[in-house]
Amino acid sequence: MMKNYSTIQKFLHDFVLNKKFINKSLFELEKIIYLKNKDIKNQSHIFITGLPRSGTTSILNFLFSSGEYTSLTYRNMPFVLSPNFSKLFNKKNTPQKERVHGDGITYDINSPEAFDEVFFNNDEEFVENELLNYLQLILLSESKVKYLSKNNLSYKRIDLIQSILPNSIFLIPIREPLQHAYSLLSQHIHFNQLQKEDDFIRRYMNYLGHNEFGLNHKPWNKPVNFYDLNKIDYWLEQWFLFYKNIYNKYKSYINCYFVIYEELTNLNYIKTLLEKINFNEAESIDLNYFKNSNKQEINIDFSNNMYENANNIYSNFKNI
């Protein structure tokens, strides 16, 4: 959507998202007007997290389609911290369009997206004190009781979220490492070009904490042997370092579920996963949300040793 914004829309996004004071002030105003202090602490809210290009958006759209959960949507932009207030502005529906990634996933103004990093990108004291209030405001805006989040950075704060929302569920998708690394590389090259052509795309992604690709890319872990962002080995090593840490830290967490990307077109696998998370709509499953999970042909050189190390981690997840 950021590619289609008018000059006025770009100005508004820059003005609001670039200044935490404005967003926080609107948040405080929203609490005064809308907050009702309903008990949502013990609901089974779902947080989807992990590396991008692992199926996080497909899982988000699939679960959101049930109508059981509320998420932030494009309708909340740019007033992300005031979900009720923002609905007063963005009333006009928009047609479905393919997102800027060029991966076949479409969206409109009512589509859920990873916007809550605007909230989490504050100091930890603010997050601890206000998370329940913020989720209540989001849920009140749609009269729901369960929150659904896709945020690729939430893996860093699973313990914090769990301490506040003890029954929360974390879904962490895992994708075959070579395919995943190739997809990350391709998107990085793609967004480099887009951001060079339109700097607003770079700024927009920065506001939302989307530094996974492009000119402002930030590695998830400090590179060890591979530093060239335009080579697949960099992304393969990042995959290995990221998921090695995820496996070691969260494999024993009973509320963390590792989702194998390649199994998302397997009906029985989806049903089993939904049963694990007590999903109420297990009878109506639309696998079309996962139709893009096809393998790409990869004809570039890569480090066999790095791939072997990554593949061993991938096997560990598959055997859980």
Helices (H), the chain: 7-17, 20-34, 56-64, 83-86, 117-120, 124-142, 158-164, 177-197, 199-207, 232-250, 267-276, 304-318
**Confidence bin at 283 (pLDDT 50/70/90):** low
Residue 126, Cα to own-chain centre: how many angstroms? Answer: 21
Taking residues 96-105, report their average pLDDT.
75
Q: Is the pLDDT of residue 51 over 60?
A: yes
Give me the pLDDT at residue 89, please: 78
3-12, 23-32, 297-306: segment of lowest average pLDDT: 3-12
Give me the pLDDT at residue 107, please: 73
Taking residues 53-67, report their average pLDDT.
93
73 strand-pairing partners: 112
Taking residues 27-56, report their average pLDDT.
94
Q: CB under 8 Å, gap of 24 or more: what pairs does 35-39 form?
A: 35/133, 35/136, 35/137, 35/140, 36/136, 36/140, 37/136, 38/136, 38/139, 38/140, 38/145
The residues, ordered by sequence, that sit 6+ positions from 80 with a Cβ below 8 Å of its Cβ are 17, 23, 72, 86, 115, 116, 118, 119
φ, ψ of residue 303 to 5 degrees: the values are: -75, 115
Look up residue 11 and give its two tokens. 């100005």
Q: Which of 232, 220, 219, 239 is nearest to 309 (CA)?
A: 239
- Alpha carbon distances (Å) from 49 to 178, 206, 244: 20, 18, 15
Residue with tokens 């990554």: 310
Q: Is the pLDDT of residue 280 over 90?
A: no
List, in order of start, the domains of the chain with CATH numbers: 2-318 (3.40.50)
In degrees, rounded to 5, the angle at the alpha carbon of residue 188 between the alpha carbons of residues 20 and 58 is 75
CB of 173 closer than 8 Å to CB of 54: yes
8-state DSSP, 212: S
Comparison of pLDDT for 99 and 320, the residue scoring more: 320
